[in-house]
A and B are shown apart, each in its own frame.
Chain A
Amino acid sequence: MLERGPYRPWDAQLESNENSVVPSNSTFRSIGKDKPWNFTIGYGGGTNCWYGTTPRLHPSDFRLKSLYGRGRDWPVSYEEMEPYYMAAEEIMDISGPEDIRIISPRSRPYPQPPHKFSAADRLMKKAQPDRHFVMPTARARVANAQRPQCCATFRCNLCPVHAKFTALNGFRHITENPNVRILTEAEVIEVERSGASSVSTVRFRHASGEQRVGCDLCVLGANAIHSPAILLRSGIGHPLLGRGLNEQLGYAVEVLLDGLDNLDGSTITTGANYSLYDGAFRSEHGGAFLVFDNRFPYGVRTEIGRWRQTLAMNVTVEDELRNENRVSVDSSGNVAVHFQGHSAYAARGAERSLGLLPEVLAPLPVEKIVFKGYRPSESHLQGTLRMGRNRADSVVDRSQVHHGIRNLIVVGTSVLPTCPPVAPSLTAAALSLRAADIAAGKAPSW
C-alpha cells in the first residue's frame, strides 16, 4: 500500500493538535469559490479526523431517478448493500438503535448498544417515534478490546481517549500482517498503462526519489480530489472524470429551549431526525437530515439557572452533482479544484427545511430558533469518479472497476453517483467491502 502522508500515532496527533502535518487545502489550488475541502493526508486518512457519524443511506437514496426523477439511480440497491453495511458496522463496532430499521432495514442488531439520548431527543422520540432515532456512531458506547467508552469530550477529530474507530486502533491486525507492506510518504504520481484496458505499474514520489511498483490489480483510494487527479495525470480520460465534486449543503441553528434542561446525552451527537429526509418533495428540492447535537458550541446560556436550555442542530441537505464543479491538473501535474457553488436544488432544500423547522420541533418547548449560518464544509468530498451501469454516464462500473481499465478498482466516496443528505463514510466502507468481494469472486459483478 502506498500512502501519501506519514504514519502518525494518535499521541503525536494529540500533542501537535492536528491530524496531519500536511494541511488538506495546501494540496490543491482553488479556482472559483474558495471553499474548504477537509481531509487527512496520512495513514488512515479520514478515519483520523472524522467524527464517527455512521447512518446508512435511506433505501430511496439508491433510486432517486426512478422515484423522483432527479439525479440518477445507483447501480446497486439497498438490499444488495445491506450485508455489506452490516459487515462494515461489525468491523467498526458501530453503536446504534434497533428501531432505526424502520428507516433503513437491517438483518442484525448493531454490534454496540445505542448512545443515550438527550432530554430534547427524548421529547422528540416520544412525539415522532418513527422519525427520531439515536444517531448511529463509531464512537464507542461501551469499551471494547481496542477502545474505551466515549465520554463526551466533543473534540472528536482529536479524541483524547481514542474512543472512536480509526485505522490506527481498528486495523492493527492488518498493519501487523507480514503479507502487508505499507510505504508511507509515497505520493502516487500516476498509474501506467500496459495496454488499452489495463495498468501494470504505479509511479510514485518518495524520499529516495521517483520509483515504480508493479500491480496486477490496482486499487485507487485517495479521495474525491486526488483520486481523479491521479487518473488525469495518467491520461486515463473520460468526459466525467473529475467532474461532479460535491458535498451536502449544511447549516447550523441553535434552538433556545424554554424550561427544558438539555445536554444530558452520552456523546457529541445524539439524535438523527428523518422528518424532512424523504418524500415526493425530492422531485423539487433536496432532502434534509436533522442532526441533534448534545454539545454547546455557542456556549452555555447566560441566564441564571438556564445554562442547559439550549439545543445545537446541524442540518445537511442533499445536493445535485454539477459538472462544472470539478478537479483538474495542469501540465506540471498540480491539482486545482473548480467550485462554482451548490445547486439550486440544494439551496431550495435548505430554505424549505429551515422554514419547516418550527413545525418539526413542535414537541419541544421552543423559545426561539436562531439561524447560525451555512457551514463552510461538511468534510464529505465525493462524486468525481461516479459509478454507474453505462460507460456514457459513469467512470466506474457497478463493481467499482474502471469502465476502460479493467484491473483498476476505485474505492472511497469519489464513486458516489448522487449526494444523499447523510454522511457517506459508512456507505463508502460498505461499498469497498462489496468491491473486494466481487474482485475475489465471492459476489456477482452483474
Chain B
Amino acid sequence: MVSRRKFMFMGAVAGAAVIAGGAAFAITDQYHGWIHAILKHWLPGYRFDPEGLALFIRDYNKKQGHALKLRTFAAVEGVVDVKVLLPDELRRQVEEEERRVFSAFLVGSDFFDNYSNGPKTITYRGTPQACGSPFATF
C-alpha cells in the first residue's frame, strides 16, 4: 500500500492537472474511473457487472478511508496518464497498488470460477471473509 505521505508528491503532480474543478471530480468519482481503467487495461474484452463494480468501489473506499491524495491521483489517472510523470519509485508503488486493486477485484468475483470460458461479464460479489483463496486445494 502507498502511504499518505508518499502520495503527497503524487498529489502535487495530480493537482497540477486537476486545478480547475478536478478536485470535486476526485471526491465524487470515488475511484470509479481509475479502477474501471485498471480492469479494462488488464482484462481486454471482458465486461464488468455495474452493481458488482459499485460494490467493489464501496469496499475499496472503506479500506482507503479518506486517502485524499490517492483519490485525487486515481481520479486524474482515470482521465490522463499522470503516472508517467512520477519518479521511478513512486511509479512502482502506484503500479503495485494497481495490481492489488486488480487482484482484490478478481478474488472477490466469479472470475476464477469460469475465466477459461473466455471473455464474459465479471461479477464482483464481495471480499471473502474466510477460505477465500480461489487456488487452494486440500
Show the binding face of A for B, using Cβ within 8 Å.
116, 149, 151-154, 160-161, 262-267, 294-296, 298-300, 302-304, 307-308
Contact A154 B132, beta carbon cutoff 8 Å: yes
Tell which of A149, A265, A294, A299 touches B103, judged by Cβ atoms closer than 8 Å. Answer: A299
Q: Number of contact residues on B: which range applies? A: 20 to 34
For the complex formed, measure the closest distance between the CB of B30 and the CB atoms of chain A, giving whole angstroms.
21
Q: Indicate if B84 sits at the interface (CB-CB under 8 A).
A: no
CB contact under 8 A between A160 and B130, given known A298-B100, A299-B100, A307-B106: yes
Which residues of chain A are near B102, meaning CB under 8 Å?
A: 299-300, 302
Which residues of chain B are near A304, meaning CB under 8 Å?
A: 42-43
Show the binding face of B for A, using Cβ within 8 Å.
42-43, 96, 99-100, 102-104, 106-107, 112, 128-133, 135-138
In angstroms, Cα B39 to Cα A87, docked, is: 51
Which residues of chain B are near A303, meaning CB under 8 Å?
A: 42
Which residues of chain A are near B103, meaning CB under 8 Å?
A: 296, 299-300
Tell which of A153, A266, A302, A307 touches B132, judged by Cβ atoms closer than 8 Å. Answer: A153
For the complex formed, measure the closest distance between the CB of B20 and the CB atoms of chain A, giving whole angstroms.
33
CB contact under 8 A between A266 and B100, given known A151-B130, A300-B107: no
Interface CB pairs A-B, < 8 A, 8: A149-B138, A151-B136, A153-B130, A153-B132, A299-B99, A299-B103, A302-B102, A303-B42
Tell which of B43, B99, B136 touches A294, judged by Cβ atoms closer than 8 Å. Answer: B136
In angstroms, Cα B81 to Cα A196, docked, is: 73
CB contact under 8 A between A302 and B42, given known A151-B130, A153-B131, A296-B103: yes
Contact A308 B132, beta carbon cutoff 8 Å: no
For the complex formed, measure the closest distance between the CB of A265 and the CB atoms of chain B, giving whole angstroms.
7
Tell which of B43, B129, B138 touches A116, judged by Cβ atoms closer than 8 Å. Answer: B138
Contact B130 A263, beta carbon cutoff 8 Å: no
Which residues of chain A are near B136, meaning CB under 8 Å?
A: 151-152, 263-267, 294
For the complex formed, measure the closest distance between the CB of B129 and the CB atoms of chain A, giving whole angstroms.
6
Which residues of chain A are near B135, meaning CB under 8 Å?
A: 262-264, 308
In angstroms, Cα B129 to Cα A153, docked, is: 8
Closest to B136 in A: A152
In angstroms, Cα B127 to Cα A153, docked, is: 11
Contact B100 A264, beta carbon cutoff 8 Å: no
Which residues of chain B are near A262, meaning CB under 8 Å?
A: 135
Closest to A152 in B: B136
Which residues of chain A are near B128, meaning CB under 8 Å?
A: 153
In angstroms, Cα B129 to Cα A151, docked, is: 11
In angstroms, Cα B103 to Cα A435, docked, is: 48
Closest to A303 in B: B42
Contact B96 A298, beta carbon cutoff 8 Å: yes
CB contact under 8 A between A154 and B133, given known A298-B96, A298-B99, A302-B99: yes
The 7 closest A-B pairs by CB, nearest first: A299-B103, A151-B131, A152-B136, A160-B130, A263-B135, A299-B99, A152-B133
In angstroms, Cα B136 to Cα A79, docked, is: 37
In angstroms, Cα B135 to Cα A294, docked, is: 9
Q: Which residue, B42, B107, B128, B130, has most C-beta atoms of chain A within 10 A?
A: B130
In angstroms, Cα B130 to Cα A160, docked, is: 6
Contact B130 A161, beta carbon cutoff 8 Å: yes
